[in-house]
Structure 1
Amino acid sequence: MSRTTTRSNHLAPRHHARASVVTIAALALAGCTLVGGEDGGGGSPTNGGNEQADGGTLTVVTHDSFALSDELLASFEADTGYTLERVAPGDAGALVNQLVLTTDSPLGDVVYGIDNAFAARAVDAGVLDPYTPENQPASADQHDLGEALTPIDFGDVCLNVDHQWFDEHDVAEPTTLQELTEPAYRDLTVVTNPATSSPGLSFLLATIGEFGEDGWQDYWADLADNGVKVVDGWSDAYYVDFSGSEGAGPRPIVLSYASSPAAEVPEGGDEPRTGALLETCFRQVEYAGVLAGADNVEGAQAFVDFLLSPEVQAEIPTQMYMYPVDDSVELPEAWARHAPLAEDPVTLDPARIDANREDWIATWTEIVIG
């Protein structure tokens, strides 16, 4: 989902800016003093202490789609004594850009939301200090990028289709990226700009991984010739142009997530009106880390541990519409039925992405936008 635009409340929390996104800021503004650690923000989380203590401020830097329940964030404050404050510079790209620009005067203590498209840049710029949580589950090891980044959640950016539209128009649903360039799918697809949207960038990376350095430019030229529409943000693509959700737009193919269909089961129905094309997916992983130069290092480490706790991992599907890295967490029933992950998603080495990202976006812009 693009983190550059506000989402509608129709979809689950991952897809939109919600009231609980501002939970941390609200708690901070309330000036909460809760049960927990000793002065200055030190110490590990405590449980069940009776003394009221001010553990100090813990500043959490996130992308603008971070969301956890009020109750869960309040419990962290109560258990640790920290008062949470939040800084949200924008989407994943804007987040990393700001972290790099403020390396000598960090925005906060801990960061969540660096994804694999920008991870190498953050590490190479030295914005993170090493930290490996003791509670990191073994299932997270497959996403490991080194000791400065802790994997928290993941998901697949994929094209979604409107089943009803294809049934009514007697057109076969596409299944692959290549099919989108065929005349049968002219003017049917809407995607987001990789320069302004994190799923847009993921989709560009999917095409690079699929067609290679020698073929992705030709693919996009063919897709542009076949009438693909490009918009800046996920909200416009999904809610305005896509026919399969509340916007009832004219285009039955949209860039979204593999998890999106789980939110499109009509009231009283059993099956979603949309589906994800699992052969078009790019695997996106989101990380947390302790910021170099943090004022509250122990608090930052405690928050990373918190993000891997069973309680937070269980909320990730319903609050941020991503998969938890802890595979022992039970997923919502709708996810088990309607939000399968791709069996063979496209992945690219983060270092390769970092070395080529700006050139790829500039080339894409020249081909598609002109």
Structure 2
Amino acid sequence: MSLNTTEYNNRLMDRRTFIKTAGAGSLIALAGCSMTETNDGPGNDGTTTGTVPGASPPSGTLTVATYSSFTGDGTAGNYLKSAFEAEYPDVTVEFEVPENGVNQYIQRKQSGAGIDADLYVGLNTGELVRADDELDSSLFMHSRDYLGRGYALKSDLQIDPRGRAVPYDTGYISLVYDEGAINAPETFDDLLEPEYEDALITQDARQSDPGRAFVLWTIDAKGEDGYLDYWSQLDDNGVTVTDDWEPAYNAYMNEEAPMVVSYSTDQVYYHGEGVDMSRHQVGFINDQGYANPEAVARFADTDQPALARQFIDFMLWPEHQAQIAERNVQFPAVTDAQLSEEFGQYAYEPPEAVTFDYDRLQGNVDTWIDDWAREVVSN
């Protein structure tokens, strides 16, 4: 199976911007919801819906705010909508794609306006941190401790110490390279060698998830005091910085450079008859990849807290986790997902995962990225 670049773009990346922000504030916002947060825990098969025994079947409309490529034909979002509505016939799932992502809800919260959605799909750690710095009250409510399927979550993917944001998948930032044109660099210092002059395309860390993750990865490798000097040298060696993932990957496919910052699941869509696999090799610098979990969270102002929680639990069922992973071209967030053999063959996990957790990013991430932009993008 193979897709053209446009189709791959639609399914592989959310292409969200770094300036989008996520929920903040207090630990729990459960006023008026105490009767809706009880669940009966996991069943013997581990696939509980988290419903209260004897309760009426869920009903009503659930509004899910998310990014554009989570919806549409063949996407994880439309799969979940169809499956959830089939499981609960009295429920309607509607998607909302805000132009400015979560930042739209931050601004509404700041102005005292209402939130017209029940939950948001697509948060990452940096966005959550930024929102906590910008809002005085909680945009999201606690969810993790009320999930029947919470026990199955991978512990290393937890992005929110307050339990508001629940991971549903993760990607690993890596290099994708043309092995017919270049050898895979083994270290970050290799990228400074003449062999790699004009060889790398990456993305603007202010606007791109993989671009930001790559910068954070260099901070992990070179330290806060050394990463800007490293990027100055990388810039001198001809690194190309594009606005976002899509133009970066398009430039790579147009052979403008033999290497691009992307995801280690690249071969999930680029394999099969007629595909030149030499153009889709995955490289892990220092035998590492930067983990970038995506999470879902309930808005504190939702009038459907129980239904929203039930949808989160539904996303964590093993069979649905497999569908999310394969349609989003990411790895599942639970330990018992039922992945296809083909996915396992072409999706690569790094020997070691690197990531900065919430506490490490809090109070630092904006400064790091702003300093990087002045050093690299402004030149």
Distance of 1:338 and 1:71 partners within structure 2: 22
Of 277, 290, 296, 1:282 maps to 290
Of 100, 115, 131, 2:124 maps to 115
1:157 is matched with 173
Unaligned runs of 5+ in 1: 1-5, 18-40, 48-52, 167-171
For residue 177 of structure 2, give the secondary structure of its aligned residue in structure 1: strand
Deviates more, 1:313-322 or 1:352-361: 352-361
Q: Note the C-alpha offset of 1:16.
A: 7.0
2:267 is matched with 261
Q: Is 1:134 the counterpart of 2:140 in the alignment? A: no
Q: Note the C-alpha offset of 1:122.
A: 4.1
- Which letter maps to 1:148? R
1:180 is matched with 191
- Which letter maps to 2:166? T
Of 157, 161, 168, 1:143 maps to 157
Alignment of 1:207-286 (within 5 A): 207-239=218-250, 241-242=251-252, 247-267=253-273, 273-279=279-285, 281-286=289-294
Q: Note the C-alpha offset of 1:258.
A: 0.8
Distance of 1:267 and 1:11 partners within structure 2: 20
Distance of 1:334 and 1:116 partners within structure 2: 30
Q: Structure 1 residues 178 and 330, CA, compared in 2 at 3 Å: closer, same or farther?
A: farther
Give the structure-2-normalised TM-score: 0.77
Distance of 1:308 and 1:285 partners within structure 2: 14
Report Cα offsets for 1:308-345 as digits up to 9, x if no partner: 12232011222111111122223333332232211222
Structure 1 runs of 4+ off > 3 angstroms? 41-47, 69-72, 121-125, 268-273
Q: Is 1:55 the counterpart of 2:54 in the alignment? A: no
Q: Is 1:9 the counterpart of 2:13 in the alignment? A: no
Q: Is 1:316 the counterpart of 2:324 in the alignment? A: yes
Q: Structure 1 residues 219 and 183, CA, compared in 2 at 3 Å: closer, same or farther?
A: same
User: In 2, are the aligned partners of 1:262 and 1:272 still within 8 Å (CA)?
Assistant: no
- Give the length in aligned residue pairs: 324
1:106 is matched with 115
Q: Note the C-alpha offset of 1:87.
A: 1.7
User: In 2, are the aligned partners of 1:7 and 1:16 still within 8 Å (CA)?
Assistant: no
Q: Is 1:191 the counterpart of 2:220 in the alignment? A: no
Q: Note the C-alpha offset of 1:204.
A: 1.0
Q: Structure 1 residues 213 and 186, CA, compared in 2 at 3 Å: closer, same or farther?
A: same
Report Cα offsets for 1:137-183 as digits up to 9, x if no partner: 434233223321212111101121111223xxxxx331222211111
Unaligned runs of 5+ in 2: 16-35, 40-48, 52-56
Q: Structure 1 residues 129 and 359, CA, compared in 2 at 3 Å: closer, same or farther?
A: same
Give the structure-1-normalised TM-score: 0.79
Distance of 1:331 and 1:199 partners within structure 2: 24
